[in-house]
Amino acid sequence: MPLTTVPAFARIGEENAFAVLARATELMRQGKDVINLGIGQPDFATPPHIVEAAIKALREGHHGYTPATGILPLREAIAADMNGRFGVEVSPDNVMVVPGGKVTMFMAILMFGEPGADILYPDPGFPIYRSMIEFTGARPIPVPIREENGFAFSAEETLALITPQTRLLILNSPANPTGGVTPASEIDKLVKGLEAHPHVAIMSDEIYAQMTYDNQVHRTLLAYPEIRDRLILLDGASKTYAMTGWRLGWSVWPKHLYDMARKLAVNSFSCTNAATQFAGIAALTGPQDAVRDMVAEFDKRRKIVVEGLNALPNVSCATPKGAFYAFPNISKTGWKAKKLASALLEDAGVATIGGPDFGVHGEGYIRLSYANSADNIRKALARMGEFLSRAKPQG
């Protein structure tokens, strides 16, 4: 008898950014000069005081399990940080520490996804949303994210997609892959409309909350008491503190879901790495200048990237308002997006991600991460320009 695994694995997806990273690394190993604008992680080192806090924790013997939901001082620091940044009340009893931002979406989608359920998610959007929705057997319902709307989600369009089968609505602002930031007025409108749909839970992925530009103010969904009993807030240290490899995320849950999240933790990872949690306390309670400096540097590069992309033949790029991604429109080049991304990597030595890797509405776009030096970004843009003027488009 052959082994039989559950059919859900025929439906689970992946993040192509990791495949592109592997291919870029392979090309570099072969001696090719590749500029990696594919990967979504800050190119900065974790600030030293955060690293030191983890080392100190290990030296002081924090080698054991912690509570499944995270150590209290970290949960207090997370609650205080949200209070400080947004003026919202968050109890440490509703805060759950998890190994990375992804874990919160994994848990939330597992809680609400099953055959017969619909889950709404942004498209183009972080690919794991759809992958996990499909894994649970729920029906993925894409909410189109449109360039003409500044890559913000539309409250009206989102609300129109809600049916009695809708269980969960996933939101993401500032957004990956578009860099879109949804204005507060649109979020007000959405929350107002959600009053008519009390059966819909909301997961707001705010992992890029501290990365906004042009004086855009991030509006957290936590600011709406009327939905707090059905809101799951996803955040973490990966992007803000340049800590992607540490695996440190956190979330805020309504009380009735919190215990389910705790049980999922106990049944899977037990707890987040102890030393990493101490690093998290240092990150949140220590000086924040490294965050400000990093965002200021991203802002400078953002301008270089947008200007450079708009100077390329048949390419146009809306100015991203948040995160560290540009999402240029390449539809007029005659190239299909994934073919272009692949050719740019193999032929021009520039790693990017094709828009369709973020959903069907990503066709006609590629994603560039500007988490790379200004010099490399300029070099990559020059290579792209040279490539586009010489290569025959593959539609």
Nearer Cβ to ligand PLP (322/364)? 322
Q: CB within 8 A of 298, min separation 6: which ones?
A: 211, 213, 324, 370, 371
In the complex with ligand PLP, the residue whose CB is nearer, 207 or 337, is: 207
Helices (H), the chain: 16-29, 48-59, 72-86, 101-112, 127-136, 155-160, 184-194, 255-267, 274-285, 289-310, 337-343, 374-390
Closer Cβ to ligand PLP, 211 or 330, answer by number: 211
Residue in 277, 297, 294 with CA at minimum distance from that of residue 285: 277
How many whole angstroms separate alpha carbon 384 and alpha carbon 211? Answer: 26
Q: Find the shortest distance in angstroms from Cβ 238 to ligand PLP.
A: 3
Minimum Å gap between C-beta 104 and ligand PLP is 8
Report the alpha-carbon distance of residue 2 to residue 4 in Å, rounded.
6
Name the minimum Å distance from CB 75 to ligand PLP. 17
Pick 244 or 372: Cβ nearer ligand PLP: 244
CB of 258 to ligand PLP, least distance (A): 20
Minimum Å distance from CB 101 to ligand PLP?
A: 3
**C-alpha separations of 79 from 71, 108, 207, 311 in Å:** 13, 20, 15, 44
- For residues 265 and 83, give the distance between their C-alpha atoms in angstroms, rounded to a whole number: 25
Shortest CB 176 distance to ligand PLP, Å: 3
Contact 123, 131 (CB under 8 A): no
Smallest distance, ligand PLP to C-beta of residue 236, A: 5
Min dist CB 127 to ligand PLP, Å, is: 9
Choice between 306 and 353, CB closer to ligand PLP = 353
Q: Which two tokens stand for residue 367?
A: 């994603």
- Which region holds residue 140: left if phi is over 0, alpha if psi is between -120 and 50, else beta? beta
Q: Which is nearer to ligand PLP, 94 or 178 (CB)?
A: 178
Q: Which is nearer to ligand PLP, 234 or 318 (CB)?
A: 234
Note whether 118 and 142 are within 8 A (CB): no
Measured from the CB atom, is 244 or 251 closer to ligand PLP?
Answer: 244
Task: Tell me the closest approach of the beta carbon of residue 79 to ligand PLP, in angstroms.
Answer: 19
Q: Which residues bind ligand PLP (CB under 6 A)?
A: 40, 100-102, 126, 172, 176, 205, 207, 236, 238, 244, 249
Residue nearest to ligand PLP (CB): 101
Q: 325 Cβ partners below 8 Å, 6+ apart?
A: 40, 176, 177, 178, 179, 367, 368, 369, 370
Residue among 101 and 349 whose Cβ is closer to ligand PLP = 101
For residues 69-104, one letter each, b for 16 or more C-beta atoms within 10 angstroms of the residue's C-beta and e for the rest, the string is bbbeebbbbbbebbeeebebebebebbbbbbbbbbb
Check residue 270 and report its DSSP letter: S
Shortest distance, position 261 Cβ to ligand PLP, whole Å: 15
Q: Give the residue with the Cβ less far from ligand PLP, 180 or 236.
A: 236
Amino acid in the structure at residue 87: G
